[in-house]
Amino acid sequence: MAVTGAILVLYLVAHMLGNLKIFLGAGAFNAYAEWLRTVGEPAVPGRTVLTLTEIVLTVAVVLHIWSAVALARRAGKARPVKYAARPKAHASRYATHIMRYGGLTIALFVVWHLLDLTFGVVNPAGGAAAPYDRVVESFDLSRWYVTLFYFVAVIMVGLHLRHGIWSAFQTLGMTTHRTRGRIRVASALLSAVLVLGFLSVPVAVMIGVVK
């Protein structure tokens, strides 16, 4: 859970930084997308680095989900009889809800996200269009519901990470009495930065900064 999560967080940081290139204009953004496909050439064939990244990410996602399912099954076995009374004060159950059900929401979003911006199947500009045009078309005001879904999903990712990042440090035994508080603050900050970075693109498209 922690190791695969760490891989995915590192990817998200890179993904967000890449997204921000859209503010440098269509040329820079499309060139960056092209570079992702050609990086390493001619030492390695085109798309080698990208394909490797895709394989690592797929494996990480599968193992992450597998760990989550295993944990949930163990939890179910450890408490065969549920409580009749709903807890009042102590139990926000925030972490459980945001990690398990939030994780499910994120998985569904990733499917949509790939169909929209990677394969272009559900993108109005289509898969053959330049990456920049796909982004602009996807977040067009007429598709406000798509943008809304994107907003909800990104905020869900942020909440997932707010618990997930420090929890990974704890699982890997990297927290102590004196560092845990700071790690929690840092993980909340990184989550907030990622959310703001990812949301800045659709906002820019909507207010016409990126068109």
Partner 1 sequence: MKITLKVWRQKGPSDKGRLVSYVVDDVSPDMSFLEMLDVLNERLILTGDDPVAFDHDCREGICGMCSMVIDGTPHGPQRATTTCQLHMRHYKDGDTITIEPWRAAPFPVVKDLVVDRSAFDRIIQAGGFISVPAGSAPDAHSMPVAKNDADDAFDAATCIGCGACVAACPNGSAALFTGAKITHLGLLPQGQPERMARAKAMVEQMDAEGFGGCTNTGECVAVCPKGISLDVIGRMNADFLKSSK
List of residues contacting partner 1 (CB under 8 A): 1, 70-71, 74-75, 77-91, 93-96, 99, 163, 166-167, 169-178, 180
Least distance to partner 1, CB of residue 160, Å: 12
The one-letter code for the residue type at 44 is V
Between residues 134 and 184, which has the closer beta carbon with respect to partner 1?
Answer: 184
**Residue 126 to residue 123: CA distance in whole angstroms:** 5
Least distance to partner 1, CB of residue 58, Å: 23
Least distance to partner 1, CB of residue 106, Å: 16
Between residues 81 and 111, which has the closer beta carbon with respect to partner 1?
Answer: 81
Least distance to partner 1, CB of residue 96, Å: 5
Between residues 91 and 128, which has the closer beta carbon with respect to partner 1?
Answer: 91
Least distance to partner 1, CB of residue 71, Å: 5
CA distances from 121 to 75, 127, 129, 154, 205 (A): 38, 6, 11, 21, 20
Between residues 168 and 194, which has the closer beta carbon with respect to partner 1?
Answer: 168
Between residues 88 and 211, which has the closer beta carbon with respect to partner 1?
Answer: 88
